[in-house]
Amino acid sequence: MAKIGIIGAGSWGTALSLVLNDNDHEVTVWSVLEAEIEMLNREHEHKDKLPGVMIPESITFTTDLKLTCNDKDLLVLAVPSPFTRSTAHMMSDKVKDNQLILSVAKGIEEDTLDRLSEIIKEEIPNAAVAVMSGPSHAEEVSRKIPTTCVVGAEDKNTAEYIQDLFMNPNFRVYTSPDILGIELGGALKNVVALAAGVADGLGYGDNTKAALITRGIAEITRLGIKMGANIKTFAGLTGIGDLIVTCASMHSRNRRAGILIGQGKTMQEAMDEVKMVVEGVYSAKAALALSKKYDVKMPIIEQVNLVLFSDKPAKEAVKDLMQRDKTDEITWEGY
């Protein structure tokens, strides 16, 4: 049995607490929101985000960050990506040297273009950091629907240790050394999912969705390779796998927000209606900045930014994507 602290009591943090509790680990979950912790302790149910899923009393919920971090075999950082830096900063004086921290959120910091693992290392330099990502809606994980994820770490022993903590008949975990690729896939698919949602909101069909998914993974892969990631990652769980589920499922807050934008709502109106952090909105500018920094063409990412932040009509964005200069899918030279 391991002692595990989960930082963040939202849908994903709570769902992972259930997985780890099922595996007979001692789990403590923290939230900065007192009302959220009071509800979880009183109702044993996250009525806002995981309604109908009962939470066993063996899981401890608290607002005491020191208690959550102290003497733990693993800390799981599960706050939404815009709050990763501020939360890691709060944790920095409460963790032991070489503390293993698993980042499970998805995003890229807009101002610095840092990935979440880089942010954690900056704020908690004495920690060891790993990441976990994949097609894994909390709503389904919490209901024990079979799910697969991938853990990335700098060394294989660390990845396999985390794999063993999480693995059970309903939650399968693979390992990978490609932290960079895992984080890029997890963050950038949210931006493409916004585009997929916009297409749904405009009333377009399966052909359009398939085009966005396939051309979206092409853009993500081009950038990832240029940054030094492994191409195989983008054909895996945190690449095409996560992109498919996020573009296709109504559990996806990014797709839901995109649908509302396609129906004519502003970005802020869509975010307010979804009532959850729409991480693709926060990653969109960073994705565009990365494309320019590494000189990689990412037309879908570019059009999403124009729709979100420059009030470009969604139909016009689709028209401009369709009428770009003709090109090859696979180059003829050297084929």
Kindly give the pairing relationship between strand 100-103 and strand 128-133: parallel
Query: Do the beta carbons of residue 313 and residue 303 sit within 8 Å?
Result: no
pLDDT level of residue 268 (50, 70, 90 thresholds): confident
Bridge partners of 75, per DSSP, are 5, 101
Domains belonging to the chain, first-starting first, are: 3-177 (3.40.50.720), 180-322 (1.10.1040.10)
Bridge partners of 174, per DSSP, are 150
Between the alpha carbon of residue 236 and those of residues 176, 181, 231, 242, 264, the distances in Å are 10, 10, 9, 8, 34
Bridge partners of 147, per DSSP, are 171
Does the pLDDT value for residue 274 go beyond 90?
no
What is the model's pTM? 0.94
Residue written as token pair 């964005």: 317
Does the pLDDT value for residue 226 go beyond 90?
yes
pLDDT level of residue 270 (50, 70, 90 thresholds): confident
Active site residues: 189
Q: Report the alpha-carbon distance of residue 233 to residue 81 in Å, rounded.
A: 21
Looking at residue 179, what DSSP letter applies? H
Does the pLDDT value for residue 277 go beyond 80?
no
Reported as a single tens digit per residue, the pLDDT across 26-52 is: 999 999 999 999 999 999 999 989 999
Token readout for 225 is: 């390779």
Looking at residue 329, what DSSP letter applies? S
Per-residue pLDDT, 92: 96
* Amino acid occupying residue 179: I
Q: Which residues in 51-89 are b (16+ Cβ under 10 Å) and which e?
A: eebebeeebbbbeebeebbeebebbbbbbbbbbbbebbe
Share of the chain above pLDDT 90, in %: 90
